Amino acid sequence: MHKGNFLVMERDDARASSIVSALQFLGYHSQRWDASQDTDLASDDWRVVYLGSFVDEDEDRQALTLLQEQNDRLLLLVCADSPHAAFLAAPSSGFAGRMELLEFPLRYERLSEAIRSLHARQLASIPMTQRLVGDSVAMGKVNALIRQVAPFDSNVLVLGESGTGKEMVARSIHDCSPRRDKPFIAVNCGAIPAELLESELFGHEKGSFTGAISARKGRFELAEGGTLFLDEIGDMSLPMQVKLLRVLQERVYERVGGTRTLRSNVRIIAATHRNLERAIVEGRFREDLYYRLSVFPLEMPALHQHLEDLFKLITEFNQRLSRRGLGGVRFSNSAMQALRQYRWPGNVRELSNLVERLAILYPQSEVRACDLPEKYRGAQSADEVGGGVLLAWMDGPPQSALASSGLTPDTDMLLPEGGVDLKDHLADIEVGLIRQALDITDGVVAHAAKLLRMQRTTLVEKLRKYGLQAGVAAQ
């Protein structure tokens, strides 16, 4: 398995052979530097360089110059007795935070530890732009696991309900890995017909089947050097599972209709909402493929398991809407309370869709519990009760209205266990009554003011206060 590209700059054949063999044993791809050939450390995708010592002074100078001219993404392993060790370890060299010293005779444990340390320091300096939103314990564990597995090429199997953000996990792992400068390619195995999936993954040659009018690269080729995300892997057919298993085992494949064997250097991240262990028992998923994919299983929590992240998620979605030119949405306390009581079967994706829908319906306004779609409201909110009272006032005196709503002058409202913000609670009721009055009067402010037994100017001030001016008439 190719874990990264190592360039070994060492004149001593015995030491060079030792380094190359050790890297190969640890599963890494390496190559010796040839001073007689032009080397571009950036374009050739070298990620780690081992620097030893050179008998020839010109070669020694050439090697050091080459390192200093390249970009700052290179990691460096330096032989402890190299004449450049002290210089490179100095803060002024620019390599101090990206190098590790190696002693000879070489030990596998030390080499593995040095490489791991280099990657860990490199990743710590990279902002995790795709970090999953949330400060809850559940999301903290997920983000920690992403950080731990990202530096290595181990296969990852992301589990969880639909809409929990499994593709975001895959993208975060890729963005924090040494492969982040290479492609991230996603394919939904459940959305592509079984007979077309092989061509989609491995590509095809011209004339290999009806409609193949030209050769085409598959997703494995497009992802070369990067990450291939196989979503809904649990929906893949058994024959296709066999072909995928071969690629995972041997790292080779052929295009459909082709005879040339292609090597694959991609990291595999798979995801599914299905119970694969049950699918194995039922004969719908291969056990050997399951264990190949599930080297590092990572389970995403359902939204109802980390509702403390609700506010941060809404803030994140508002920022995304803002970048698209849509106004954000604000939720009142009563609306947030209702959202926290909802079970969220569609998880984070459902929340994202709801925020976007409400941003379109109530731009630059505060959304109250009564504005939420019915299934999100839960128990009848105070502003909805108030609206019912207002409608009843149309048909009789206040006393009958109170009775019809289930309230009487002597009714005591039950105080929630955690208390209540009385100011916000009363504001929710007031806004609910105002909106009901505007609905009844087709948005005519003067008529709504009469219905609410207040001056028109007072109602206009309240409309401005609560951001309800849009869509009302001035009469």
Total residues belonging to the chain: 475
Residue where a domain stops, chosen among 345, 377, 409: 377
CATH number at residue 367: 1.10.8.60
For residues 23-48, give the mean pLDDT. 64
Give the per-residue pLDDT at 61: 66
Question: What residue numbers bound the domain in which 443 lies?
Answer: 380-475
Residues 284 and 323 in one domain: no
Residue 56's pLDDT band (boundaries 50, 70, 90)? low
Phi, psi of 329 (to 5 degrees): -125, 140
- If asked whether residues 435 and 329 sit together in one domain, one would say no
User: Do residues 297 and 232 both lie within one domain?
Assistant: yes
Give per-residue pLDDT as tens, 183-207: 999 999 988 888 889 999 999 888 7
Q: Is residue 131 part of a domain?
A: no
End of a domain among 77, 97, 124? 124
Residue 403 is predicted with a pLDDT of: 43
For tokens 């001035």, what's the residue? 474
Whether residue 166 is predicted with pLDDT greater than 90 in this model: the reply is yes
Most confident of 2-11, 98-107, 137-146, 456-465: 137-146
User: Is the pLDDT reported for residue 58 higher than 60?
Assistant: yes
Instruction: Indicate whether 156 and 243 sit together in one domain.
Output: yes
Looking at the predicted structure, is the pLDDT value of residue 271 above 70? yes
Return the bridge partners of 331, or none: 367
Contact 264, 312 (CB under 8 A): no
Same domain, 392 and 254: no
Alpha-carbon distance 233 to 183, whole Å?
Answer: 20
Buried b (16+ CB within 10 A) or exposed e, 315-353: ebbbeebeeeeeebbbbbbbbebbbeebebebbbebbbe
* Domain match, 314 and 401 both: no
Q: Which of 29-43, 201-215, 328-342, 429-443 has the highest mean pLDDT?
A: 328-342
How much is the pLDDT for 131? 60
Is 354 a domain residue? yes
Query: Which burial class, exposed, middle or buried, applies to 411 when counting CB atoms under 10 A from its CB (0-12, 13-18, 19+)?
Result: exposed
Identify the CATH number of the domain in which residue 169 sits: 3.40.50.300
Structural domain includes residue 91: yes
Q: What is the mean pLDDT of the chain?
A: 79
Beta strands in 305-455 (DSSP E): 330-331, 366-367
pLDDT given for residue 243 in this prediction = 94
Does 301 score more than 60 pLDDT?
yes
Q: Check whether residue 292 and residue 144 sit in a common domain.
A: yes
Please report whether residue 312 resides in a domain.
yes
Q: What is the pLDDT of residues 73-92, one digit of tens each?
A: 577 788 887 776 776 666 66
CATH of the domain at 35: 3.40.50.2300
Tell me, yes or no, whether 132 lies in a domain: no
Residues 201 and 329 grouped into a single domain: no
The pTM assigned to this predicted structure is: 0.61
Q: Where is pLDDT greater, at 388 or 435? A: 435
Domain edge (last residue) among 301, 325, 351 = 301
